[in-house]
Amino acid sequence: MGNNVFITKSRSFKKALQAVKNHFNTSLENINVEVINKPKKIFNFYLSPVIVRATVKSIAQTQEDVDACFAFEYRSEGVALVIRFEQGKGCKLREDDIIKLAVKKQIKDVDTDVIADAITKRFEEVIIAPPQEEVKVDEQLKITVSDNGMEAFVKFIPAEGGKALTYDDIVSAVEGSGIKFGVDFEKLKEIAADKEYEKPIKIASGKAPVNGKDGEIKYNILFTASNKPKQLQGGYVDYFERDNFTSVKAGDVLAVYIKPTPAEEGTDVLGNTIPAEAGKELNLPVGENVHLSEDGCQIIASVDGAAEIKKNKICVTNVLIINGNVDVSVGNINFEGNVRILGGVKARLSVTAKGKVDIFGTVESAVINAEGDVYLRSGILGSGKGTVNSGGNVYAKFIENANVTAKKNVYSSSIIHSNIECYDSIIVKDAKGVLYGGLVRAANKITAQSIGSQAHAVTTLEVGIMPDTRDEFNKLSSEAQRLQKELSYISNIIDMSGTALSKRQESIKAKLISERIKKKFMLEKITGEIEKLIEKVNDGTNSSVNVYRTIYPGTRITIETLVYAVNEELQYSTFKIHDGKIIVTSFEDK
C-alpha cells in the first residue's frame, strides 16, 4: 500500500480524499486523515490548495472486539493450555478462571506459575501439567431455596466431557432435595430440553398465607358538609348560605359494620405450613347519642343533631366542626350549639352560634357572633370591618383593625387600631402585650405591657362604666351641651333686646322666652337622666388602667367621667381615681 504517510494537496477536499484512497488502495474507514491547512473559501471554491496528511489505521484500530478464551488439550507431552487472547476491547483472560476449570476437571500437578507467565507474556500454548488421562465431568445441578422458603431455583453447570442430565435426573434431584410443594413440572420439561447454564431458574413456588380481613366500617353518610348553596326565587343562588353540616334524625343508620373474615394458611416449597392470622374484630366507634342495632352491625343515631367523628367515634352532637376554612365554598354558619373551625374565616362570611366559637385559623373581615366564649387562636385581621360579638370572654392571639364586644373579658397578646367594648376587663400582657390605636373600653380595668406607640398613635382608653351605659351617658352629655349652648344664645338675645320694642319684636321676644323655658325643661330632664346613670357607675376605686412597660403620649384615658391625657412616656404605671381626680401610681394590677 505504499508508504505509511502520504501528504497531498488539491484545490478540492473531495479530490484530496480520492488521491489518498488511490495511494493506499483501501477504503477511507481504514485511513486516518488530517487537514494540515484550512484555506479560505468563497462560493465553495478554496482560495489556496487543501493540504491533507494521511496514515493507515493500525490493526488495533480496525479489528472487532473479541473476548479472550481458553481450552485444555491432553497431549503425550502433557496437558496443554491453549489461549486465544482478547481483541480490541474484548474481555481479558483471568488466571482464576483457568485454575477453577483445572480443579473442576481434576487436572493433577498444575503449574500455576506457568499459567501466570503465559497470560503475562501472551503465549498462545503452554504445558501446565504432566501427561494424564482426561477426567470427564458430568453435567451438574445445584438446587437452592429462598430464605423465606417460598421459592426454589435450579442452576445447571455444564458437563466437561461427561453425561448430560435428563428430565428424570432433574426430577429425582428436585424431589431428593426435600422440595415437596409447588413444583412446576412443565417448567422442568422445558429447561431439560433447552438448558441455560450458570443461571438460577425458578422451578417451585409456595402458597402465601392469606390473613383474614379485619372488621370494617362503611359509612352511610358524609361527615363533611354537602356545601350546596341556598336556592333563591327566580333561579338565583346565595353562595354565602349553604348546607354546611350533616344533619341526622334519630333512627338514621349512620354506619354498617362488616365482620372480619377467617384466615387461610400457606405452604412453603418444603411442605411446611405457614400460619395466618384471622381478621380482628373492631372496637366499634360508638360515641355520644348513638347506639348499636340488635345484631351489632349497625350504628344508629339516638337523637336529632349534627353527625361527626369525634375522638375517632361516631357522635351526634351539638358541636359543629368545620375541617378547613369558612369561605364561599362553606358559606355562613348558623348553629344551635358550639362551633369549632379548624381553619380561618374569610372576608364577608359570618359565624353564629348559640354556644362558643373556637377558630384555629385567622379571621378576616368577617362577623363572629356567639352567646358563649370566642377563641381566635390565630387572631383577627378585620380591615376595619371584622366584628366579634361574644356573650362571654374573647381569647385572641391578636386583634387588628377589628370591632370586638365581650360581655365578660378580652384576652389578647396585642390589640392594634381596633374598637373594643368589654363588660369586665381587657388583658393584653402576653409576649408582645401591645395596645395602640382605636377606642378600647372596659367596665373594670385595662392592663397591657405597653400602651400607645412611639409614633404617638391616638389611643383612647375608657374604664369604670359599662360600655352601653357610657354610650348613653355620652349621648345625653352631648345633648345637654347642645341645649346649654342654645339656652346661652337665646338668653343673650333676650337680655340684649331691651324694653322699647315694636309689636313684631315683642312677639319674637315672647317666642324666644317660651323656647328658653322649653329648653330649660328639656335640660333639666336630661340632667336628671345623667344623674341616674352616674348612680349606676362604679365608685372608681377598682377601675384602672395598668401598664407594665411604657405608655406613650397620644394616649387619652377616661376613668368614669374624668379624663387624663398622657403627654410624656411613663413606665410601670397605674392610672386610677383618687380624691376626685385621676392619679398615676406605681404599677398595681389587683
The predicted-structure confidence for 31-80, as pLDDT tens digits, reads as follows 787 777 666 665 555 666 777 778 876 655 555 778 888 888 889 999 99
Q: pLDDT value at position 442?
A: 93
Q: What is the predicted pLDDT for the residue at 367? A: 97
Q: Which of 87, 105, 129 is the last residue of a domain?
A: 129
Give the structural domain span for 85: 69-129
Residue 150 domain-assigned (yes or no): yes
Does residue 199 fall inside a structural domain?
yes
269 in the same domain as 201: no
Residue 119 sits in the same domain as residue 146: no
Closest by Cα among 140, 138, 141, 113 to 128: 113
Per-residue confidence (pLDDT) for residue 520, from 0 to 100: 84
**Domain check: are 175 and 240 in the same one?**
no
Same domain (yes/no): 184, 238: no
List CB contacts of 65: < 8 A, sequence separation 6 or more: 86, 87, 88, 89, 90
pLDDT at 1: 41
- 293 lies in some domain: yes
Total domains in the fold of the chain: 5
SS3 123: coil
Task: Tell me, yes or no, whether 189 and 264 share the same domain.
Answer: no
- How far apart CA 535 and CA 472 sit, in angstroms, is 13
Q: Write down the pLDDT at residue 196.
A: 85
Over the stretch 5-19, which tens digit does the pLDDT of each residue have? 777 777 677 777 888
**pLDDT at residue 483, rounded to an integer:** 85
What Cα–Cα distance (Å) separates residue 551 from each residue in 63, 432, 450, 557?
A: 95, 14, 6, 11
The residue ranges of the chain whose pLDDT is under 50 are 1-2, 538-540
pLDDT digits (tens, 9 = 90+) for 224-245: 656 676 677 776 667 677 766 7
The answer to whether residues 255 and 282 belong to one domain is: yes
Same domain, 119 and 164: no
Residue 542 has a pLDDT of 79
Same domain, 33 and 89: no
- Of the candidates 437, 483, 479, 444, which has an alpha carbon nearest to the alpha carbon of residue 462? 444
Does residue 298 sit in the same domain as residue 235?
Answer: yes
Strand-strand pairing, 216-219 and 229-231: unpaired
Give the end of a domain, one of 306, 324, 356. 306
**One domain for residues 220 and 251:** yes
Q: Output the pLDDT for position 2.
A: 44
Residue 486 lies in a domain: yes
Residue 293: predicted pLDDT: 92
Which are the contacts of 56, defined by CB distance < 8 A and separation ≥ 6?
A: 1, 4, 24, 26, 30, 31, 32
Centre a 10 Å sphere on the Cβ of residue 106 and count the other Cβ atoms it contains: 12
At residue 88, the pLDDT reads: 79
Q: Is residue 349 included in any domain, yes or no? A: no
Q: What is the pTM of this model?
A: 0.49
- How far is it, in rounded angstroms, from Cα 426 to Cα 573? 16
**What's the gap between Cα 560 and its chain centre?**
51
Q: Are residues 38 and 94 in the same domain?
A: no
Answer yes or no: are the C-beta atoms of 48 and 11 closer than 8 Å: no
Domain C-terminal end among 282, 306, 330: 306
Give the separation between CA 433 and CA 446, rounded to whole angstroms: 12
Residue 48 in any domain: the answer is yes
51/73 same-domain check: no
Does residue 261 belong to any structural domain of this protein?
A: yes
What are the residues whose beta carbons fall under 8 Å from the beta carbon of 46, sequence distance 6 or more? 11, 12, 13, 39, 40
Q: CA separation (Å) from 95 to 51, 84, 101, 112?
A: 50, 14, 10, 9
- The per-residue pLDDT for 230 is 67
